[in-house]
Chains A and B, each alone.
Chain A
């Protein structure tokens, strides 16, 4: 069974009073199989969070259909098998970490011994330890991210949707999140992950989906994407500054471009990402 199926999803936000409608997503078709770890990439404002909210049933699509484990995403029952970490979440500051997890586990229908065991597991998994007895209002940004992840995982969901899970985390915290995601995959879970940490996406994900200005511009495994964006790179050393413009003209006449050194030095997925993003930023007519 497919974990997520998006069929022609579009989302248009209408202005409150005046102005043009905003096309947040256009004709998104995507299918995620169970057990996959899919990375959702795209510049700010590309529609990643809106897409995740549509999958969670928090936002209704203007057109198209969204199914999670074969059921419409807007049904509350569908969400019993999904865990969701929103972007930069803020939780109840006057509850302790344990009280917060007890509340979220209760909403998912867990009670008694099972609930307490799951809470202990989730706290251990995200590494909150004794801090779980403190009020959430006293937590650092990174700890809030961890408790957010714990509430997403406390029900042992089959599908985990993470919106920027490593934002505000130190390198050690980001590495821990990576380990947790690997753990979910090891027990057969499915993860849909939105992030700007390209190295982490490259490291963790079995497939990458690239969004730009509401359109799905690329999708595939890391290797497939790298293949499709293969370029020949020549590193020119000790070029006199006066000759650079001449070289640019020469290259341009042959359909090539001279990129700045920091851009050219980047590799792997980052180059694919920047190429896709750059294409839209440099030529408005290509994108809606």
Chain B
């Protein structure tokens, strides 16, 4: 068996184990339940009419839950399955087998991306289910709200789900980079949430200093703009909820943008972990 094939087997074994272990954890179940409860609450309040029309309100809430809980799952899953494994010394037994440290990092990330994909697929599936139901129940007032003029298409909702998964993947890779040298899983969690805040506010900082600030601040803003991914680019839920579609160009662009950042963060994570004392 060639070295590449056996390396792929080990990577798949680590990814599969990470996915299985994460899915079986109570925390993941609790987060999924909380997301479902938020969906039920949105359903309950759909007729209030104080926030937005029914379709937009339900999709906004659904994508909001997907984005928020997806970010929590990404950060906690990385901290638990990577930093936690170092804290519990399980990593020593794993790396005592013929496993390269890079395989361990990549396997962990692949397992977590699988977990996030499952999470986003289930959430998006619920939203698409609502749309499908609205098309088959044209006499129901709620269904009319869903299927009315300018209603979102199933394809746009699925595409939006994919975009949310890409955002979670970038966040997971960034948290993984921090976790490769964080001493505790708590530190990894805190740094993960800090990274989420920085990436979400990145556009704001960029705009504030890019053109108006002093020379040095513009330089720093430029550097931050290069290193930190801009999570505002993933905020397309409003557009989809309002009945807009996501262009193929945008989808290809955001996929490449995410792939570049994930690759960069993973490469740095592998480098850091290779030099870490266990």
User: Residue B260 at the A interface, CB < 8 A?
Assistant: no
Give the distance in Å from the alpha carbon of A87 to the alpha carbon of B90 in the complex: 10
**Pairwise interchain contact B97-A104, C-beta atoms closer than 8 A:** yes
Within 1-22 of B, Cβ neighbours of A (below 8 Å) are at 1, 6, 9-10, 13-14, 17, 20-21
User: Residue B92 at the A interface, CB < 8 A?
Assistant: yes
Contacts of A99 in B (CB 8 A): 20
**Pairwise interchain contact B24-A94, C-beta atoms closer than 8 A:** yes
Q: How far is the CB of B277 from chain A (nearest CB, A)?
A: 6
User: Residue B99 at the A interface, CB < 8 A?
Assistant: yes
Which stretch in A28-36, A75-83, A125-133, A195-203 binds the other chain?
Answer: A75-83
> Given contacts A86-B93, A91-B90, are A79 and B17 in contact (CB under 8 A)?
no
Contact with B along A28-59 (1 / 0, CB 8 A): 00000000000000000000000001001011
User: Residue A107 at the B interface, CB < 8 A?
Assistant: yes
> Given contacts A92-B21, A95-B17, are A77 and B93 in contact (CB under 8 A)?
no
User: Residue B278 at the A interface, CB < 8 A?
Assistant: yes
Contacts of A89 in B (CB 8 A): 88-90, 92-93
Contacts of B90 in A (CB 8 A): 89-92
User: Residue B100 at the A interface, CB < 8 A?
Assistant: yes
User: Residue B255 at the A interface, CB < 8 A?
Assistant: no
Q: Which of A56, A77, A95, A103 contacts B96 (CB 8 A)?
A: A56
A91's nearest neighbour on chain B, judged by CB, is B90
Q: Which of B14, B92, B93, B98 contacts A76 (CB 8 A)?
A: B98
Contact with B along A212-231 (1 / 0, CB 8 A): 00000000000000000000
Contacts of B89 in A (CB 8 A): 86-90
**Pairwise interchain contact B278-A91, C-beta atoms closer than 8 A:** no
**Pairwise interchain contact A80-B93, C-beta atoms closer than 8 A:** no
B92's nearest neighbour on chain A, judged by CB, is A86
B3's nearest neighbour on chain A, judged by CB, is A77
Give the distance in Å from the alpha carbon of A95 to the alpha carbon of B277 in the complex: 27
Give the distance in Å from the alpha carbon of A99 to the alpha carbon of B1 in the complex: 24
User: Residue A13 at the B interface, CB < 8 A?
Assistant: yes
Contacts of B88 in A (CB 8 A): 89-90
Contacts of B21 in A (CB 8 A): 92, 94-95
Q: How far is the CB of B151 from chain A (nearest CB, A)?
A: 41
Contact with A along B96-129 (1 / 0, CB 8 A): 1111100000000000000000000000000000
Contact with B along A249-263 (1 / 0, CB 8 A): 000000000000000
Give the distance in Å from the alpha carbon of A152 to the alpha carbon of B92 in the complex: 11
**Pairwise interchain contact A104-B9, C-beta atoms closer than 8 A:** no
Within 46-101 of B, Cβ neighbours of A (below 8 Å) are at 88-90, 92-100
Within 125-149 of A, Cβ neighbours of B (below 8 Å) are at 148
User: Residue B137 at the A interface, CB < 8 A?
Assistant: no
**Pairwise interchain contact A76-B100, C-beta atoms closer than 8 A:** yes
**Pairwise interchain contact A148-B93, C-beta atoms closer than 8 A:** yes
Q: How far is the CB of A144 from chain B (nearest CB, A)?
A: 11
User: Residue A267 at the B interface, CB < 8 A?
Assistant: no
Interface-central residue, B92, B97, B277, by most chain A CB under 10 Å: B97
User: Residue B25 at the A interface, CB < 8 A?
Assistant: yes
Contacts of A103 in B (CB 8 A): 13, 17
**Pairwise interchain contact A106-B96, C-beta atoms closer than 8 A:** no
**Pairwise interchain contact B6-A109, C-beta atoms closer than 8 A:** yes
Give the distance in Å from the alpha carbon of A78 to the alpha carbon of B96 in the complex: 10
Contacts of A69 in B (CB 8 A): none
Q: How far is the CB of B274 from chain A (nearest CB, A)?
A: 10
**Pairwise interchain contact A107-B99, C-beta atoms closer than 8 A:** yes
User: Residue A151 at the B interface, CB < 8 A?
Assistant: yes
**Pairwise interchain contact A94-B13, C-beta atoms closer than 8 A:** no
B88's nearest neighbour on chain A, judged by CB, is A90
User: Residue A84 at the B interface, CB < 8 A?
Assistant: yes
User: Residue A108 at the B interface, CB < 8 A?
Assistant: yes
Contacts of B10 in A (CB 8 A): 106-107, 109
Interface-central residue, A59, A76, A103, by most chain B CB under 10 Å: A76
Q: How far is the CB of B34 from chain A (nearest CB, A)?
A: 20
**Pairwise interchain contact A82-B96, C-beta atoms closer than 8 A:** yes
Q: How far is the CB of A148 from chain B (nearest CB, A)?
A: 7
> Given contacts A59-B278, A94-B24, A108-B98, are A84 and B92 in contact (CB under 8 A)?
yes
Ordered by A's residue number, 6 sampled pairs between the chains whose C-beta atoms are within 8 Å are A80-B97, A83-B96, A86-B96, A89-B92, A90-B90, A109-B98
Which B residues are closer than 8 A to A by beta carbons? 1, 6, 9-10, 13-14, 17, 20-21, 24-25, 88-90, 92-100, 277-278
Q: Which 10 A-B pairs have the closest CB atoms?
A: A84-B96, A94-B24, A90-B88, A107-B97, A86-B92, A106-B13, A80-B98, A76-B98, A79-B98, A92-B21
